[in-house]
Amino acid sequence: MTNLLDIQNISYSINSEKILRNVSLKIQSKMMYQFIGGNGAGKTTLLKIILEIMPPSKGRIFKHQSFSKKYIGHKIPLKNYLTLDENLKIYLNNFSETKLIDTLKKLNLYDKRDTKFSSLSYGQQRKAALIPIFIETHEMFLLDEPFSGLDNAHIEIIKKEMINLVSHGKTVIFTSHIPAEFECETLRL
C-alpha cells in the first residue's frame, strides 16, 4: 500500500456553524474507506475538500503522488431529455463497448438503452450513474451515497464491485448513513 493523501486537521464552517472539526486521516492505495454520519454531518463536504472542489476552513491535505480519480455524487448528472444510451456516450470515458454491454446486463439496464432517462425509475437512474465503477480505470473512486435508491440485489452487486476494485489495486472512498457490512476503514463524522 502507498500513501495517497494525508488529511490533517481539516475543519469546515459555514458562517459560524462547524460542519467538520479537526478531521485527520491517511488515505492509502488498495483500501476502502467509509465516511459515515447523519444528514449534515459533513460527509459530502469532506469528499469535495478531498476533490479540491472546495477549500477547508482550516487544515490541509497533502497529496503524495498524482492519481486519476472519479467522483460519483448523490445527484445524478445524466440528462433527462436524452436516452440512457445517449447519456452514457457523453458520461463515460475510455470504455470498452463489450464491458459496457456486460455491465448494462448485470444491472438490468440493457433493455433500457433507448429509453429516455426521465422515464427510468430513480433506482435505474442511480444504477446508470454508477456504471463508471464497472468500466472506467481510475486509481481512486469517490462515491457519495452509492446505495441510495437501490434494491437489495443491486446493493449487493455494487458492494461486490467496490470490493473488486480494491482487490485490483484501486482505492474506494464512499459515504453512507448506514455502517458497511464488509471490510473497510470507517470514519465517523
Query: 28 - beta bridge partners?
Result: 3
Residue 151, pLDDT above cutoff 90: yes
C-alpha separations of 153 from 25, 63, 65, 149, 175 in Å = 32, 36, 37, 12, 19
Residues 7-46 pLDDT 10s = 999 999 998 899 999 999 999 999 999 999 999 999 999 9
- Identify the pLDDT of residue 179: 86
- Assign 123 to helix, strand or coil: helix
pTM above 0.75, yes or no: yes
Distances in whole angstroms, Cα of residue 180 to Cα of each of 39, 68, 123, 152, 167: 17, 25, 20, 13, 17
CA pair distance 122, 126, nearest whole angstrom: 6
Give the whole-angstrom CA distance, residue 13 versus residue 169: 34
What is the predicted pLDDT for the residue at 182?
87
Per residue in 90-110, pLDDT (tens digit) is 999 888 899 999 999 999 999
